[in-house]
């Protein structure tokens, strides 16, 4: 007898029908035979294999999930403590509550995951992802009617919703004609035909696995059914002991908290990934893990951020305000698990480590610091090379498949073109055939005319036949070309380059710590010690002494290459700069006043006076005698160089005092422009003197500052300066030297100065004012 269709069944009646009558409705599954083997003594429940937002109740018979602080967007997952390795068994689930958490619409512009309420029921292997569908080691049905495994998902069943008993059956009985299949029932009625599970899962123990979002579910592992099926089948709690296996959980009452401590960008996350593969039951607490969880739950991964602190710019309330991290930080210490607290920057700071130890202060947590610094082991480097090669091969495979697909498209296009040409050829042959037939029927026409027409037609036919032959030859050549696209049947095998073979760590694409965060905390990095509250401190690659020295040298090097993003000018700098600007304006005003009423001197007398006078012996730069200031002959470029001298000196001196770090007394050349902008609120532009680099520009004032060393840094040639007049003297000395060299015919002594936009405008205004003053004096004389 063939089984009845689903449309003729009524789930509501199935419960009321007598057992004998219900068995008459045949199913593809047969009744369980009598099994004399003893049932398992293990209790099927939910232990440590649950996501942190799962809240078990009623001895694990009810599963709820947190919905605060962005958790309403995350899928909760729970894997049972007992798995199947043989036989045919089932479990039941019932949605008893559908939740609609209140969401603030203010500021929301991101896409929330859909559907809002979701349930996935299936099986997975031990140690696999707790979100069904996140990896290939699982198989499941969902509430939307899909059957999936890993990234594969297809529509195979009817939907299910609240207040319906859903039965999930897994058949691993090799003697059954439905072996290695999974079935789904709603209210005792089949809603999905047996679906074959992937071969990769058939030789592994499979554990019941439930995932859900914004619902509360009741779970029944047995021994008694909530809804009988059309055939007899035992529940998992009644399974034969030899058909099931218990998961390996932590020792009861003893859990670990481990903090990896490593310098940024030196294999931290690679080491952790490798370590977690060997310890799959441990739970990673980190922002990167939260982001992976968000992606598994259907949220798009935002760009930006660092490895340590990836961007959470989801455009969703509860995600961008860091509420999610606060919920995890509060809930994790209350859930007994083995934890890895993974934050590169925080784990290097004693104050941050103290906060973590304070959170996990309960006595059942054993706290360990793992220091991963120095020269990595050969085992680590071998695994790193394997991982790099695998990623390189995957990239090459993708490129090969893309090219293969493009070539296939080209082949299809050529094939369509040939088919079209063939169609046209046959159409032309039919047309000619019809024409010949018409000619034969035209017997009443003149014979001469007929012969002439036949001759023309014959010539045309010969030409067409020749063209057709050429087309066939061309088509044949194209077919030959199609046989070999030069790509082969398999992607090419890649190899590591000589440089890649000698990598100690993976090349940095996205840094572990953002530069601003690194510069702010760099000086406080330390190696953890047991006195901080750790039960133990373990050194993985090198010993304690070597690690401390390694970190000290690394911090010293990092200080030279990392900008201090949070550095702010001190009050001392602000006061000095204010006094300088006032003095600078007074000098320019006095030069202007002097040039308006100059002391008349012959050029020869001026040159002789400049030669005889020692610039550095002058006591008052405002009056060298006869009221003439030392800067009387300053051109715009001299004023610009005077400004550059003082500002470069003040920058170096203020930086040294404001940073107040003996390891960071000088500014690296690559950061001079950055700190100049931070202190003076404008750009240091070498192009005003026709230079390309800051180093070339500062070479003009090497009597004040110099860029030298390896790596190159900015250092001052001046001791403590009591008066800014020294910078006027240095500028005048250089001006006179350039003038002497120019007069001697040295064209290289001339400066190529282009005033900035603001300065150029001021010069033009000054020239106009000067011209207006002369014009007014002349008019008054007239």
Under DSSP, is residue 557 helix (H, G, I), strand (E, B) or coil? helix
pLDDT value at 283 more than 90: yes
- ∠ CA(533), CA(534), CA(538), 5° rounding? 150
Per-residue pLDDT at 486:
67
- Name the burial class of residue 334, with classes exposed (0-12), middle (13-18) and buried (19+) by CB atoms within 10 angstroms of its CB: exposed
| CB-CB contact of 656 with 770 (8 Å) | no
Q: Could you give the CA distance from residue 372 to residue 267 in angstroms, rounded to a whole number?
A: 9
| CB-CB contact of 753 with 637 (8 Å) | yes
What is the mean pLDDT of the segment spanning 134-154? 95
What is the mean pLDDT of the segment spanning 614-626? 86
pLDDT value at 6 more than 60: no
| Assigned token pair, 723 | 């008066």
pLDDT value at 40 more than 70: yes
| CB-CB contact of 211 with 131 (8 Å) | yes
- Residue 146 makes CB contacts below 8 A (sequence gap 6+) with 153, 154, 155, 156, 157
Indicate the fold that domain 253-376+507-565 takes in CATH: Rossmann fold (3.40.50)
Per-residue pLDDT at 16:
45
Per-residue pLDDT at 691:
95
Share of the chain above pLDDT 70, in %: 85
Q: Could you give the CA distance from residue 669 to residue 240 in angstroms, rounded to a whole number?
A: 74
Per-residue pLDDT at 768:
43
Per-residue pLDDT at 492:
86
CA distances to 157, 771, 776 from 779, rounded to whole Å, are 103, 12, 5
Per-residue pLDDT at 404:
84
Q: Could you give the CA distance from residue 36 to residue 491 in angstroms, rounded to a whole number?
A: 54
Per-residue pLDDT at 273:
93
Per-residue pLDDT at 1:
37
Q: Is the peptide bond before 115 cis (omega within 30 degrees of 0)?
A: yes
pLDDT value at 543 more than 60: yes
Q: For 308-367, write each residue's pLDDT tens digit.
A: 999 998 888 778 888 899 999 999 999 999 999 999 999 999 999 999 999 999 999 999
Per-residue pLDDT at 180:
97
Among 92, 124, 268, 323, smallest CA distance to 206 is for 124
| CB-CB contact of 754 with 685 (8 Å) | no
Per-residue pLDDT at 321:
84
Please provide the average confidence, as pLDDT, over all residues in the chain: 86
- ∠ CA(590), CA(595), CA(600), 5° rounding? 125
Per-residue pLDDT at 624:
85
Q: For 469-520, write each residue's pLDDT tens digit.
A: 555 545 444 454 455 666 777 888 888 888 888 888 888 888 999 988 998 8
pLDDT confidence bin for 254, thresholds 50/70/90: confident
pLDDT value at 635 more than 70: yes
Q: For 670-716, write each residue's pLDDT tens digit.
A: 999 999 999 999 999 999 999 999 999 999 999 999 999 888 999 99
Tokens 């790509």 sit at which residue? 487
Each domain of the chain, given as residue ranges in start order, spans 6-246, 253-376+507-565, 395-483, 571-751
pLDDT value at 721 more than 90: no
Per-residue pLDDT at 15:
43
Give, to the nearest 10 degrees, the angle between helix 725-743 and helix 636-659. Answer: 140
Q: Could you give the CA distance from residue 244 to residue 206 in angstroms, rounded to a whole number?
A: 9
CB burial of 726-758 (b: ≥16 within 10 Å; e: otherwise) equals bbbbbbbebbeebeeeeeeeeeeeebeeebeee
pLDDT value at 22 more than 50: no
Give, to the nearest 10 degrees, the angle between helix 378-441 and helix 268-278. Answer: 90
Q: For 641-657, write each residue's pLDDT tens digit.
A: 999 999 999 999 999 99
pLDDT confidence bin for 462, thresholds 50/70/90: low
* CATH 2.60.120.920 given to domain 6-246: yes
Q: For 53-91, write each residue's pLDDT tens digit.
A: 999 999 889 999 999 888 999 999 999 999 999 999 999
Supply φ then ψ for residue 256, to 5 degrees: -120, 150
Q: Could you give the CA distance from residue 332 to residue 339 in angstroms, rounded to a whole number?
A: 9
Q: For 519-541, write each residue's pLDDT tens digit.
A: 889 989 999 999 999 999 999 99
Q: How far apart are the first and last CA of the chain?
A: 130
> Which of residues 617 and 50 earns the better pLDDT score?
50
Q: Is the peptide bond before 711 cis (omega within 30 degrees of 0)?
A: yes
Among 711, 708, 374, smallest CA distance to 561 is for 711
Q: For 164-206, write each residue's pLDDT tens digit.
A: 999 999 999 999 989 999 999 999 999 999 999 999 999 999 9
Q: For 207-223, write each residue's pLDDT tens digit.
A: 999 999 999 999 999 99
């Amino acid at each position: 007898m063939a089984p009845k269709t689903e449309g003729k069944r009524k789930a509501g009646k199935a419960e009321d029908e007598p057992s004998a009558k219900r068995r008459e409705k045949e199913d593809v599954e047969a009744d369980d035979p009598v099994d004399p083997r003893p049932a398992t003594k293990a209790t099927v429940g939910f232990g440590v294999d649950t996501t942190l937002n799962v809240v078990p109740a009623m001895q694990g018979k009810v599963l709820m999930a947190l919905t605060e602080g962005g958790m309403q967007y995350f899928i909760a997952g729970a894997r049972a403590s007992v798995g199947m390795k043989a036989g045919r068994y089932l479990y039941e689930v019932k949605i008893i509550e559908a939740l609609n958490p209140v969401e603030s619409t203010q500021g929301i512009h991101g896409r929330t995951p859909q559907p809002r309420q979701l349930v996935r029921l299936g099986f997975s292997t031990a140690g696999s992802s707790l979100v069904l569908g996140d990896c290939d080691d699982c198989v499941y049905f969902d509430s939307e009617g899909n059957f999936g495994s890993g990234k594969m998902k297809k529509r195979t069943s009817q939907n299910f919703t609240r207040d319906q008993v859903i039965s999930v059956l897994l058949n691993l009985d090799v003697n059954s004609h439905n072996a290695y299949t999974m079935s789904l029932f709603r209210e005792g009625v089949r809603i999905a035909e047996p679906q074959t599970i992937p071969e990769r899962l058939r030789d592994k123990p499979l554990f019941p696995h439930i995932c859900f979002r914004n619902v509360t579910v009741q779970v029944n592992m047995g021994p008694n059914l909530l809804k009988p099926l059309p055939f007899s089948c035992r529940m998992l709690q009644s399974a034969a002991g030899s058909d099931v296996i218990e998961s390996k959980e932590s020792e009861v009452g003893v859990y670990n908290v481990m903090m990896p401590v490593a310098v940024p960008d030196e294999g931290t996350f690679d080491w952790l990934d490798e370590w977690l593969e060997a310890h799959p039951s441990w739970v990673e607490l980190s922002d990167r893990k939260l982001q992976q969880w968000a992606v598994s739950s259907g949220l798009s991964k935002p760009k930006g951020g660092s490895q340590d602190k990836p961007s959470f710019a989801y455009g969703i309330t509860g995600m961008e305000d860091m509420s999610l991290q606060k919920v995890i930080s509060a809930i994790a210490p209350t859930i007994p698990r083995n934890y890895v607290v993974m934050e590169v920057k925080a784990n290097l700071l004693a104050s941050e480590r103290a906060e973590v130890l304070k959170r996990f202060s309960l006595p059942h947590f054993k706290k360990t610091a793992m220091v991963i610094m120095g020269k990595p082991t050969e085992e680590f480097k071998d695994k790193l090379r394997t991982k790099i090669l695998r990623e390189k091969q995957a990239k090459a495979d993708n490129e090969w498949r893309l090219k293969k697909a493009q070539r296939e498209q080209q082949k299809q296009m050529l094939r369509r073109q040939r088919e079209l040409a063939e169609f046209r050829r046959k159409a032309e042959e039919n047309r000619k055939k019809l024409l010949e037939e018409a000619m034969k029927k035209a017997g009443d026409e003149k014979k001469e005319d007929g012969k002439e027409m036949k001759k023309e037609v014959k010539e045309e036919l010969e030409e067409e036949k020749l063209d057709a032959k050429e087309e066939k030859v061309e088509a044949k050549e194209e077919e030959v070309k199609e046989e070999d696209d030069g790509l082969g049947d398999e992607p090419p095998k890649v190899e590591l380059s000589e440089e890649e073979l000698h990598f100690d760590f993976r090349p940095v694409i996205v840094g572990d710590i953002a530069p601003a965060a690194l510069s702010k905390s760099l000086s406080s990095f330390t190696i953890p010690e047991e006195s901080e509250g750790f039960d133990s401190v373990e050194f993985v690659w090198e010993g304690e002494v070597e690690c401390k020295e390694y970190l000290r040298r690394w911090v010293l090097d990092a200080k030279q290459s990392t900008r201090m993003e949070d550095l702010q000018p001190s009050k001392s700098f602000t006061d000095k700069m204010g006094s300088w600007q006032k003095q600078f304006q007074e000098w320019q005003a006095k030069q202007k006043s002097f040039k308006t009423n100059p002391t008349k001197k012959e050029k020869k007398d001026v040159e002789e006076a400049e030669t005889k006078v020692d610039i550095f012996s002058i006591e008052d730069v405002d009056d060298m005698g006869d009221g003439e200031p030392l800067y009387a002959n300053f051109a715009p470029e001299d004023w610009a160089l005077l400004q550059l001298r003082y500002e470069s000196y003040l920058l170096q001196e203020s930086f040294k005092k404001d940073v107040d770090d003996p390891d960071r007394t000088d500014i690296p050349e690559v950061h001079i422009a950055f700190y100049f902008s931070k202190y003076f609120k404008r750009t240091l532009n070498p192009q005003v003197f026709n230079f390309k680099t800051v180093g070339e520009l500062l070479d003009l004032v090497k009597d004040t500052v110099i860029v030298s060393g390896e790596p190159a840094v900015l250092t001052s040639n001046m001791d403590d300066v009591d008066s800014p007049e020294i910078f006027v003297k240095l500028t005048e000395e250089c001006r006179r030297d350039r003038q002497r060299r120019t007069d001697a015919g040295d064209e290289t002594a001339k400066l190529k100065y282009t005033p900035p936009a603001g300065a150029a405008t001021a010069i033009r205004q000054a020239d106009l004012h000067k011209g207006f003053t002369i014009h007014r004096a002349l008019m008054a004389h007239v």
